[in-house]
Structure 1
Amino acid sequence: MNAYRIKGKGRVDQRKPVRFSFNGTTYTGYEGDTLASALLANGVHLVGRSFKYHRPRGILSAGSEEPNALVGTDRGNGRFEPNTRATVLEVFEGLNTTSQNHWPSLKRDVGAINDAMYMLFSAGFYYKTFMWPKSFWNKVYEPFIRGAAGLGKSPSVPDPDTYASRHAHCDVLVVGSGPAGLAAALEAGRSGAKVILADEQAELGGSLLSEGEATIDGLSASDWVARTRAELEGMANVTLLPRTTAIGYYHQNFLGLCQRLTDHLANPPANAPRERMWRLRAKQVVLAQGSIEKPLVFDGNDRPGVMLAGAARTYLNRYGVKVGNSAVVVTSHDSAWFAAFDLAQAGVRVPAIVDIRHTVSDELVRRARALNIEVLAGWTVSGTAGRHRVSSVRVNPVSRGGQVGPARTINCEAVLMSGGWTPTVHLFSHTKGKLDWNEEQQMFLPGERTEESRCAGAGNGHFGLAEALREGAEAGAAAARDAGFAARESSYTVDGDFPCTGVSNRELPSDRDAGRAKAFVDFQNDVTAKDIRLAVREGFLSIEHIKRYTTNGMATDQGKTSNMNGLAIASNAVGKAPPSVGLTTFRPPYTPTTFGAFAGYNRGELFEVTRKTPIDSWAEANGAVFEPVSLWRRAWYFPRSGESMHQAVARECRAVRQSLGMFDASTLGKIEIVGPDAAEFMNRMYTNAWTKLAPGRCRYGLLLGEDGFIRDDGVIGRLTTDRFHVTTTTGGAARVLNMMEDYLQTEWPELKVWLTSTTEQWAVIALNGPNARKLIEPLVEGIDLSDEAFPHMSVAEGKICGVPTRLFRVSFTGELGYEVNVPARHGLAVWKALYEAGQKYGITPYGTETMHVLRAEKGYIIVGQDTDGTVTPEDAGIGWAIGKAKPDFVGKRSLSRSDMLKADRKQLVGLLTSDPKLVLEEGAQIVDDPNQPLPMKMIGHVTSSYWSEALGRSVALALVEGGRARTGKVIHVPMPGTSHTAEVVGTVFFDPEGKRLNA
Structure 2
Amino acid sequence: MAQSAPAAARSSQPFRLSEGGRIDRSRSLTFRFDDRELTGHPGDTLASALLANGVHLVGRSFKYHRPRGIVTAGAEEPNALVQVGRDPRTEPNVRATQLELFDGLGVSSQNRWPSLEFDVGGVNNLLSRFLPAGFYYKTFMWPAAAWETYEKAIRQAAGLGLAPSKPDPDHYDKTFAHCDLLVVGAGPAGLSAALTAARAGARVVVAEQDFLLGGDLLSDRTAKIDGRPALEWVAEAEAELRASDRVRILTRTICFAAYDHNFFALHERVTDHLAPADRPEGLPRHRLWKLRTKQAIFATGAIERPLVFRDNDRPGILLASAARSYLNRWGVRAGSEAVVFTGNDSGYATALDLKAVGVRVNAVVDLRAAAEGPLSEAAKAAGLRILAGHAVTGTEGDKRIARLRAAPLDADGKGVRGSGQEIACDLLVSSAGWSPTVHLHCQAKGSLAWDEAHACYLPDRSMQKGQAVIGSAAGAFGLASCLAGGEAAGREAAGALGLEAKASRKKTQAEDRDFLPMRQLYCVPSDKPLGQGGKHFVDQQNDVTAADLLLALREGYRSIEHVKRYTTTGMGTDQGKLGNLNAIGIVAERLGLPLPEVGVTTYRAPYTPVSFGAFAGRDVDALLDPVRTTPIHSWHERNGALFEDVGQWRRAWYYPKAGEDLHRAVAREVAATRETVGIMDATTLGKIEIVGPDAAELLNRVYTNAWSKLEVGRCRYGLMLKEDGMVMDDGVTSRLAEDRFLMTTTTGNAAPVLAHLEEWLQTEWPDLEVFLTSVTEQFATMTLSGPNARKLLAELCDLDLSTEAFPHMSWQEGSVAGVPARIFRISFTGELSYEINVPAGHGLSVWQALYRHGEKYGITPYGTEAMHVLRAEKGFIIVGQETDGSVTPLDLGMDWIVSKKKDFIGRRSLSRSDMADSGRKQLVGLLTQDPKVVLPEGGALVEAMRDATPVPMIGHVTSSYWSPNCERSIALALVKGGRARLGKTVLCPLEGGKTVPCTVVEPLFFDKEGDRLRA
TM interval, shorter chain, is over 0.9
Counterpart-to-counterpart distance in 2, 1:658 and 1:834: 18
Contact 2:783 2:836 in 1 (8 A): yes
Residue 559 (structure 2) aligns with: 542
Residue 84 (structure 1) aligns with: 94
Residue 45 (structure 2) aligns with: 34
Residue 781 (structure 2) aligns with: 764
1:457 aligned to 2:466? no
Secondary structure at the counterpart of residue 607 of structure 2: coil
Residue 899 (structure 1) aligns with: 914
Contact 1:214 1:497 in 2 (8 A): no
Residue 1009 (structure 2) aligns with: 993
Residue 509 (structure 1) aligns with: 525
Residue-by-residue CA offset, 1:526-583 (whole Å, 9 max, x unaligned): 2112221222233211101111121111222111111111011111111112232232
Q: 1:421 aligns with which of 405, 418, 434?
A: 434
Secondary structure at the counterpart of residue 568 of structure 1: helix
Could you say if the C-alpha distance between residues 149 and 281 of structure 1 is closer, same or farther in structure 2, counting changes exceeding 3 Å?
same
Residue 168 (structure 1) aligns with: 177
CA positional deviation for 1:493: 0.7
Q: 1:443 aligns with which of 436, 449, 456?
A: 456
Contact 1:14 1:30 in 2 (8 A): yes
1:532 aligned to 2:549? yes
Contact 1:442 1:505 in 2 (8 A): no
1:827 aligned to 2:837? no
Residue 707 (structure 2) aligns with: 690
Contact 1:466 1:492 in 2 (8 A): no
Q: 2:651 aligns with which of 622, 628, 634?
A: 634
1:325 aligned to 2:336? yes
Question: Between Structure 1 and Structure 2, how many residues are aligned?
Answer: 995
Residue 870 (structure 1) aligns with: 886
Could you say if the C-alpha distance between residues 505 and 377 of structure 1 is closer, same or farther in structure 2, counting changes exceeding 3 Å?
closer
Residue-by-residue CA offset, 1:930-951 (whole Å, 9 max, x unaligned): 5776543333222112233333
Contact 2:187 2:214 in 1 (8 A): yes
1:520 aligned to 2:530? no
Name whichever of 431-440 and 290-299 sits farther off. Answer: 431-440
Name whichever of 179-188 and 541-550 sits farther off. Answer: 179-188
Counterpart-to-counterpart distance in 2, 1:619 and 1:523: 62
CA positional deviation for 1:371: 2.5
Supply the AA of the counterpart residue of 1:212.
R
Could you say if the C-alpha distance between residues 326 and 714 of structure 1 is closer, same or farther in structure 2, counting changes exceeding 3 Å?
same
Alignment of 1:531-680 (within 5 A): 531-680=548-697
Residue-by-residue CA offset, 1:466-497 (whole Å, 9 max, x unaligned): 33233334444544554565555657613234
1:966 aligned to 2:981? yes
Supply the AA of the counterpart residue of 1:868.
D
Supply the AA of the counterpart residue of 2:557.
F
CA positional deviation for 1:595: 2.4
Contact 2:921 2:975 in 1 (8 A): yes
Could you say if the C-alpha distance between residues 49 and 191 of structure 1 is closer, same or farther in structure 2, counting changes exceeding 3 Å?
same
Supply the AA of the counterpart residue of 1:94.
G
Q: RMSD across aligned C-alpha pairs, in angstroms? A: 2.9
Counterpart-to-counterpart distance in 2, 1:553 and 1:819: 61
Residue 5 (structure 2) aligns with: none
1:302 aligned to 2:304? no
Counterpart-to-counterpart distance in 1, 2:822 and 2:442: 50
1:128 aligned to 2:142? no
Residue 110 (structure 2) aligns with: 100
CA positional deviation for 1:174: 2.6
CA positional deviation for 1:297: 1.0
Residue 468 (structure 1) aligns with: 482
1:984 aligned to 2:1000? yes
Secondary structure at the counterpart of residue 572 of structure 2: coil
Contact 1:174 1:181 in 2 (8 A): yes
Could you say if the C-alpha distance between residues 882 and 365 of structure 1 is closer, same or farther in structure 2, counting changes exceeding 3 Å?
same
1:848 aligned to 2:876? no
Residue-by-residue CA offset, 1:576-595 (whole Å, 9 max, x unaligned): 12232232122222222222
Could you say if the C-alpha distance between residues 350 and 902 of structure 1 is closer, same or farther in structure 2, counting changes exceeding 3 Å?
same
1:499 aligned to 2:499? no
Query: Normalization by structure 2: what TM-score?
Result: 0.92
CA positional deviation for 1:993: 2.6
Residue-by-residue CA offset, 1:339-392 (whole Å, 9 max, x unaligned): 223333333333333332345544323322333223444333222232222233
Supply the AA of the counterpart residue of 1:460.
A
Counterpart-to-counterpart distance in 2, 1:719 and 1:334: 80
Supply the AA of the counterpart residue of 1:455.
V
Residue 955 (structure 1) aligns with: 970
Unaligned segments of structure 2, at least 5 residues? 1-11
CA positional deviation for 1:228: 2.3
Secondary structure at the counterpart of residue 340 of structure 2: strand
Residue 262 (structure 1) aligns with: 271
Counterpart-to-counterpart distance in 2, 1:630 and 1:962: 33
What is the percentage of aligned positions where both structures have the same residue? 56
Name whichever of 511-520 and 314-323 sits farther off. Answer: 511-520
Supply the AA of the counterpart residue of 1:42.
N
Residue-by-residue CA offset, 1:302-324 (whole Å, 9 max, x unaligned): 12111111111111121111112
Name whichever of 510-519 and 380-389 sits farther off. Answer: 510-519
Counterpart-to-counterpart distance in 2, 1:765 and 1:185: 60
Q: 2:751 aligns with which of 720, 734, 739?
A: 734
Supply the AA of the counterpart residue of 1:656.
T
Contact 2:685 2:747 in 1 (8 A): yes
Counterpart-to-counterpart distance in 2, 1:671 and 1:867: 22
CA positional deviation for 1:846: 1.9
Could you say if the C-alpha distance between residues 429 and 810 of structure 1 is closer, same or farther in structure 2, counting changes exceeding 3 Å?
farther
Could you say if the C-alpha distance between residues 534 and 970 of structure 1 is closer, same or farther in structure 2, counting changes exceeding 3 Å?
closer
CA positional deviation for 1:86: 1.0
Could you say if the C-alpha distance between residues 452 and 843 of structure 1 is closer, same or farther in structure 2, counting changes exceeding 3 Å?
farther
Q: 1:280 aligns with which of 291, 294, 309?
A: 291
CA positional deviation for 1:906: 1.8
Contact 1:365 1:375 in 2 (8 A): no
Name whichever of 569-578 and 976-985 sits farther off. Answer: 976-985
Residue 404 (structure 2) aligns with: 393
CA positional deviation for 1:720: 4.0
Counterpart-to-counterpart distance in 2, 1:460 and 1:943: 63
Secondary structure at the counterpart of residue 922 of structure 2: strand
Contact 1:924 1:974 in 2 (8 A): yes
Supply the AA of the counterpart residue of 1:709.
M
Contact 1:216 1:492 in 2 (8 A): no
Counterpart-to-counterpart distance in 1, 2:443 and 2:317: 32
Could you say if the C-alpha distance between residues 133 and 996 of structure 1 is closer, same or farther in structure 2, counting changes exceeding 3 Å?
closer
Could you say if the C-alpha distance between residues 495 and 195 of structure 1 is closer, same or farther in structure 2, counting changes exceeding 3 Å?
closer
1:245 aligned to 2:254? yes
Contact 1:214 1:494 in 2 (8 A): no
Counterpart-to-counterpart distance in 1, 2:528 and 2:820: 83
1:233 aligned to 2:242? yes
CA positional deviation for 1:6: 1.3
Could you say if the C-alpha distance between residues 614 and 287 of structure 1 is closer, same or farther in structure 2, counting changes exceeding 3 Å?
farther
Contact 1:663 1:846 in 2 (8 A): yes
Query: Normalization by structure 1: what TM-score?
Result: 0.93
1:858 aligned to 2:868? no
